[in-house]
């Protein structure tokens, strides 16, 4: 009724309705704002990629960039177009890749090393003024004939499931443990050496021997016999690590022809020489290889090669005579060797003590911090490229003298020759009997089966 008080239930209902209206208005407003924000986001999305899409595009660009660097000159493409790579960037990427490969690839490259005309003239002058010249050669000379060296990733021999490094195999102890397998290994290597021929460096040394008044004495650590094949005189050739094409009966086996002999006593040279035989040609297959026996004593034969656990000796390797040659020389030429073995190091020391001029020729740069390399004329070159130039220069000088030109000034007097001091004691081969190839077989190849 009019004027009557409004019941509390109606008041509460009206307040609730009013509140509901306010809530509804707020909800509509919030919904409108949300819709507006959504529309704005949608509009932005049509212009810019989302974070996820952007990340995908970054990955695509990165992948195509890597692909471009590997392909070199081709264009790298992503979903959005072409990615241009500058030639400078490609060159930089390739340079980095080459540096990361390390020095192994560099070793495989056939690099021509130019020797300057001034160096050729200086080497020729030193050789021409010398009275007595000794030449020490190592594996680098034979490598130019295609004979691989021991060291490197492929420098091992497999026996069953085990791989052996040459330094482990090239010992009498290992030969005594598995003689048949060692014989197969050496026959494989002998087969590789049989296919090699002397290179220009070998031949140039023979020519120099004929051109120089005093000739040359050649001391080699290589066992391939290429110096002799090239024409070096046998009497002036010292194969201090032996020969792979020769074999002998095993002196360490009781009952053999050489057992108990003093191999440093020259009195036994003839008897030892009678026990040396030519190594048979390698069999058609390794399974057909058989270890030969000495026809005189019946004891097993072995390669005539100095092993890591053996000593140099005069009877088989003429090591003492080689040292006397160095004591008498006034010029020592070192070619293709790292000088890591006992006797070659001693040869250098003797030459320095006798104040001989020393020329060292190798393809690698010497360690000038090593006292052994002090006082040498270092020539960075391959012997097959440098020595023929020296021969040509020497021939030109000799022809000039023959045509009436004055000879060059004589060099310093030769070292005293008589009497000779007793030869120094020769250390065991284990001090480094093989500079590259192990156990005295300095330039022999190895095999990966």
Provide the CA 41 distance to its chain's centre, in angstroms.
Answer: 65
Q: How many CA atoms lie within 13 Å of 354's alpha carbon, on the beta-carbon side?
A: 30
Are 359 and 379 a contacting pair, CB within 8 Å?
yes
Q: Residue 4 burial (CB < 10 Å; 0-12/13-18/19+)? A: exposed
- What are the residues whose beta carbons fall under 8 Å from the beta carbon of 62, sequence distance 6 or more? none
Task: Give the DSSP per-residue string, 255-275.
Answer: TSTTTT--TT-GGGHHHHHTT
For the chain, how big is the Rg over CA atoms in Å? 40
Helix ranges, 314-382 (H): 314-317, 319-328, 342-353
Nearest to 232 by CA among 207, 203, 206: 206
Per the residue annotation, which of 209, 227, 241, 268 is the catalytic one?
241
**Contacts for 347 with CB less than 8 Å, ≥ 6 apart:** 134, 136, 219, 322, 323, 326, 332
> Order of strands across the sheet with 357-362?
237-239, 217-220, 133-137, 331-335, 357-362, 377-380
342-351 as b/e: b if 16+ CB within 10 A = bbbbbbbebb
Cβ(438)–Cβ(223) below 8 Å: no
CB 343 within 8 A of CB 434: no
Q: Check: CB of residue 332 under 8 Å from CB of residue 358.
A: yes
Token pair 């102890």 is at which residue?
173
Half-sphere exposure (Cβ direction) of 238: Cα atoms closer than 13 Å: 26
Please say whether the beta carbons of 357 and 128 come within 8 A: no
Strands (E), 84-210: 133-137, 157-159, 162-164
241 is catalytic: yes
Enzyme catalytic residues = 241
């Amino acid at each position: 009724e009019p004027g009557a008080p409004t019941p509390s239930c109606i008041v509460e209902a009206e307040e609730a309705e009013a509140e509901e209206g306010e809530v509804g208005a707020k909800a509509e407003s919030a919904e409108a704002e949300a819709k507006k924000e959504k529309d704005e986001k949608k509009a932005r999305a049509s212009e810019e990629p989302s974070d996820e899409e952007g990340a995908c595009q970054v990955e695509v660009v990165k992948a195509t960039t890597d692909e471009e660097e590997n392909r070199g000159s081709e264009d790298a493409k992503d979903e959005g177009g072409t990615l241009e790579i500058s030639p400078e960037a490609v060159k930089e990427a390739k340079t980095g890749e080459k540096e990361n490969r390390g020095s192994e690839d560099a070793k495989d490259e056939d690099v021509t090393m130019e020797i300057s005309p001034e160096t050729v003239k200086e080497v020729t002058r030193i050789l021409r003024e010398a009275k007595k010249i000794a030449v020490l050669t190592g594996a680098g000379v034979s490598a130019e004939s295609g004979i691989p060296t021991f060291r490197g990733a492929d420098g091992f021999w497999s026996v069953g499931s085990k791989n052996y490094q040459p330094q482990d195999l090239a010992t009498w102890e290992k030969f005594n443990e598995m003689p048949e397998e060692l014989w197969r290994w050496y026959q494989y290597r002998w087969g590789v050496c049989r296919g090699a021929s002397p290179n220009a460096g070998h031949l140039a040394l023979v020519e120099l021997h004929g051109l120089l008044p005093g000739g040359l004495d050649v001391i080699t650590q290589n066992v391939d016999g290429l110096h002799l094949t090239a024409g070096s005189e046998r009497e002036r050739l010292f194969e201090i690590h032996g020969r792979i094409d020769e074999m002998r009966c095993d002196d360490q086996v009781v009952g053999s022809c050489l057992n108990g002999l003093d191999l440093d006593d020259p009195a036994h040279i003839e008897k030892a020489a009678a026990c040396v035989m030519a190594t048979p040609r390698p069999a058609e297959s390794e399974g057909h290889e058989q270890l030969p026996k000495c026809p005189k004593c019946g004891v097993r034969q072995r390669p005539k090669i100095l092993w890591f656990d053996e000593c140099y000796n005069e009877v088989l390797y003429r090591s003492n005579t080689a040292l006397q040659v160095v004591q008498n020389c006034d010029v020592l030429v070192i070619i293709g060797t790292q000088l890591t073995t006992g006797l070659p190091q001693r040869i250098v020391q003797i030459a320095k003590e006798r104040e001989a001029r020393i020329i060292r020729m190798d393809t690698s740069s010497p360690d000038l911090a090593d006292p052994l390399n002090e006082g040498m004329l270092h020539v960075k070159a391959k012997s097959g490229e440098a020595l023929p130039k020296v021969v040509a220069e020497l021939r030109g000088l000799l022809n000039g003298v023959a045509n009436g030109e004055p000879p060059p000034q004589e060099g310093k007097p030769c070292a005293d020759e008589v009497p000779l001091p007793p030869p120094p004691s020769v250390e065991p081969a284990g001090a480094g009997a093989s500079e590259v190839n192990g156990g005295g077989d300095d330039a022999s190849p190895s095999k990966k089966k």
